[in-house]
Chains A and B, each alone.
Chain A
Amino acid sequence: MPDEKSNICLSASGLTKVFGSGRTKTVAVDHVDISLCEGEVVSIVGESGSGKTTLAKMLLGLLSPTEGEVYFQGKPRDISSHKKRKEYWKNIQAIFQDPFSSYNIFHKIDSVLLDCINMRGGRHLPYEEKVEMMTEACSFVNLKFDELTNKYPFELSGGQMQRLMIARIFLLDPKILVADEPTSMIDACSRATILDMLMQLRDDIGMTVIFITHDIGLAYYVSDNVYIMEQGVFVESGSADDVILHPKEPYTQRLISDVPKIYEEWDLSTV
């Protein structure tokens, strides 16, 4: 969409990642182009091993691409030094699949949230003000800060931990959030809450969200645009309604047919 070029906040062209060499050479991501406009939710959908997470890690700057360039706000991204990388991470943050391994088990929850405030330059604020900020962040995700102080992460349930992760994001206030299967380890009831919160981040703060999932139903529910990934390449992309209700590629059709249905017949003979 040419008229939206002005507010593209993250884009990548020809992004490639190759693991290994010789006989064990694996092309995980193969010349992928992606561009994200400000304030949209984009889903990357594919089955295990299709390269979704590798792509996300490259966008996050956790893996260096073999080939290709990432552009942040129109300029080539520079994360060559530790300082520059830290500066970049103020703009892009992530939620990972496993909430249980995302926390340092020796740090109390207060310190998790305090770190976020300190990172955003709130180091010199009086403690009362910090508490106020933490309370606000917790209430954004329907947690009570009073009940969480002095607790360790293992004392929370998976859903609570994942919500606390979102409270962190709320405090850090990045421009882009990469959510890598944030709901696959928690149960269906907490899942609805997490998804609603991600959408709230988009609506209230104008955050750009990259949502990575294998469940095309979730992608359909949250996203504006969908990219379907198969073996390192995007096979289909477009608005969620176009791609998921009228899929053209056989791979997309298969992914949709693999999700259990309620209102339609679920055909088991295709696998």
Chain B
Amino acid sequence: MSKVMLEVNELTTKYITRFQENIYAVDHVSLKVEEGKSLGIAGESGCGKSTLALSLMGYYFPPLHYTSGEIIIDGQKISGMDPDKVRKSVLGQEIAYIPQAAMNALNPTQKVIHFIEDVIREHEPATKREIYERAKELFETVGLPESTLQKYPVELSGGMKQRTVIAIAVLLSPKVLIADEPTSALDVTSQKKVIKMIKQLMEYGLIDSLIFITHELPLLYNVTDDIMVMYAGQIVEKAATEEAVFDPLHPYAKGLMGSIIVPEEGVREHELTAIPGVPPNLKDPPSGCRFAARCQYVQPRCKTRSVALREVGGGRAYRCIFSEEVLREAYKDA
């Protein structure tokens, strides 16, 4: 068995609003990513995907607060660590994060090389020349032209900016890279370049494992080894990619898979299954299954008692009261 790079046990984090309300956006989430593996996190807007990404870094700033659970990166426990220490010794080296609007993260008044100098000097002393050589080497490996280093962000296209941000994020060869919707603002061609780059990072060993967050399932299918579906702050399904896409168990996962559109024959004939309604307000989550209000297979008992994540072997788990056979049978008729 290969080494576990990231292990998260029952992580819970909450937002405290200015009215002192607690919103548990990540609710008892456990996950494991092994060396050389990638995990995809899917779900619609507002289901806690991005909050999970922020929480995994172990660096919390208000209104996000840590509540319970543990995060272990390569044997080192980072939950509950001093925030300053996390910033100095964990972020960038152990775990790196590419935010959703990464392309806007670049300061418009600074050249790209300056960001790189900033990042490296924060962690180790180095001369300008050394940093430049190192950056040049990295940029060449990931297929970015050397001239990018001397440019201002405005001189780069959206796709280039995104790839530059990714390159900066992996400067210190982090063990885990969290990519939060890195392609959602890009067109399909730039998207493909970004995906290719992320896959190369894995191949070249610049990162050891990857967490990829998106709502585009065809992307996850092509990038990750496992898929985790989140809904209202909880994991509702965990499975290998192939199984999650072609044989989803949870009704919500099934609905998500039904919204896939690809330019292949037969797509026009099959109807898209949109999931009606909106996710529940997490200020006051429903006491039973959180998906009950939108589920077409809902039973009275779904609404009263909470549903536990059910392990079914082979690393697969789902959160529903029905057994696998019942669910598969129900989907067959639909």
A260 on the interface (CB 8 Å rule)? yes
Q: A189, B255: Cβ atoms under 8 Å?
A: yes
A238 on the interface (CB 8 Å rule)? no
Q: Which of A218-237 contact B (CB under 8 A)?
A: 218-221
B65 on the interface (CB 8 Å rule)? no
Complex CA gap A157/B44 in Å reads: 11
Q: Mask for A195-217, Cβ within 8 A of B = 1, else 0?
A: 11000000000000000001111
**Contacting residue for B218 out of A159, A192, A256, A261, CB 8 A:** A261
A264 on the interface (CB 8 Å rule)? yes
By a CB distance below 8 angstroms, the chain A residues around B148 are none
Chain B's closest residue to A218 (CB) is B261
With A258-B192, A260-B218 known as contacts, the answer to whether A187 contacts B262 (CB < 8 A) is no
Chain A's closest residue to B279 (CB) is A157
B109 on the interface (CB 8 Å rule)? no
By a CB distance below 8 angstroms, the chain A residues around B187 are 47-48, 214
Q: B191, A217: Cβ atoms under 8 Å?
A: no
Q: A189, B196: Cβ atoms under 8 Å?
A: no
Complex CA gap A216/B157 in Å reads: 21
With A48-B190, A188-B44, A188-B256 known as contacts, the answer to whether A259 contacts B274 (CB < 8 A) is no
By a CB distance below 8 angstroms, the chain B residues around A47 are 187-190
Q: Which of B246-262 contact A (CB under 8 A)?
A: 255-256, 258-262
Complex CA gap A83/B44 in Å reads: 43
Q: B267, A221: Cβ atoms under 8 Å?
A: yes
Q: B215, A262: Cβ atoms under 8 Å?
A: no
Complex CA gap A258/B216 in Å reads: 14
By a CB distance below 8 angstroms, the chain B residues around A186 are 45
By a CB distance below 8 angstroms, the chain B residues around A264 are 264
Complex CA gap A67/B147 in Å reads: 38
Q: B272, A256: Cβ atoms under 8 Å?
A: no
Q: Which of A168-198 contact B (CB under 8 A)?
A: 186-193, 195-196
Q: A263, B272: Cβ atoms under 8 Å?
A: no
A95 on the interface (CB 8 Å rule)? no
Q: A262, B245: Cβ atoms under 8 Å?
A: yes
Complex CA gap A187/B184 in Å reads: 9
Among A158, A188, A190, chain B packs the most CB atoms within 10 A around the CB of A188
By a CB distance below 8 angstroms, the chain B residues around A193 are 274
A268 on the interface (CB 8 Å rule)? yes
Q: B188, A216: Cβ atoms under 8 Å?
A: yes
Complex CA gap A109/B44 in Å reads: 24
By a CB distance below 8 angstroms, the chain B residues around A255 are 188-189
Among B46, B199, B221, B268, chain A packs the most CB atoms within 10 A around the CB of B268
Among B45, B46, B278, chain A packs the most CB atoms within 10 A around the CB of B45
Interface residues of A (CB under 8 A from B): 47-48, 142, 157-160, 186-193, 195-196, 214-221, 240, 244-245, 254-256, 258-264, 266, 268, 270-271
CB pairs A–B below 8 angstroms (20 shown): A47-B189, A157-B46, A157-B278, A158-B45, A187-B215, A188-B44, A193-B274, A215-B188, A217-B261, A219-B263, A220-B261, A221-B267, A221-B268, A245-B265, A260-B195, A260-B216, A261-B222, A261-B262, A261-B264, A268-B195
